[in-house]
């Protein structure tokens, strides 16, 4: 009786371990349960996204420059010198100068996600 049980157990084990008729049509794509998750999902990576931003920056601020003008003298007669214009100050205003600067900034960091992959064999589902 123990030989009969041993024969039944051996036939049951070989029946489970051997591929079925459905998986025989799949040319070796049969994966015994439990299926590993590495074959179920595929990792997708999106690189970081950047953009170029143009901004106006001040290169130099406006300024006021003072120029001194010396007094002007003229000789009216040989022994006499007379001041024609007193000494003074003239002001020159320089406007601020601007330039356009480009800089790169990150819009979105790198991301990764997992996508379910379709079965490799459509007739057996694996």
Distance from C-alpha of 61 to C-alpha of 37, rounded to nearest angstrom: 63
Same domain flag for 103 and 124:
no
Same domain flag for 59 and 40:
no
pLDDT of residue 56: 95
The model carries a pTM of: 0.40
Cα angle, residue 80 at apex, residues 77 and 81 outer, rounded to 5° = 105
Least Cα distance to 126 among 23, 16, 24 occurs for 23
Same domain flag for 4 and 42:
yes
pLDDT digits 0-9 by tens, 20-76: 444 444 444 555 555 544 456 778 899 999 999 999 999 999 999 999 999 998 888
Total domain count for the chain? 2
Same domain flag for 105 and 57:
yes
Range of the domain at 125: 1-47+112-126
Same domain flag for 57 and 43:
no
Same domain flag for 13 and 42:
yes
Q: What is the largest CA-CA distance in the chain?
A: 155
Same domain flag for 40 and 17:
yes
Same domain flag for 119 and 91:
no
pLDDT digits 0-9 by tens, 5-28: 555 565 554 544 444 444 444 444
Same domain flag for 29 and 77:
no
Same domain flag for 3 and 42:
yes
């Amino acid at each position: 009786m123990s030989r009969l049980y041993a024969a039944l157990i051996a036939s049951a084990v070989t029946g489970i371990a051997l591929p079925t008729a459905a998986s025989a049509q799949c040319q070796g794509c049969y994966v015994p349960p439990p299926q590993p998750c590495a074959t179920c999902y595929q990792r997708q990576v999106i690189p970081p996204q950047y953009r170029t931003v143009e901004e106006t920056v001040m290169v130099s601020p406006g300024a006021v420059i003072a120029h001194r003008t010396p007094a002007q003298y003229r000789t009216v007669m040989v022994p006499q010198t007379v001041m024609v214009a007193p000494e003074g100050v003239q002001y020159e205003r320089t406007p601020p100068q601007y330039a356009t600067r480009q800089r790169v900034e990150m819009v979105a960091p790198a991301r990764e996600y997992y996508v379910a992959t379709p079965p490799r064999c459509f007739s057996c589902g694996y």
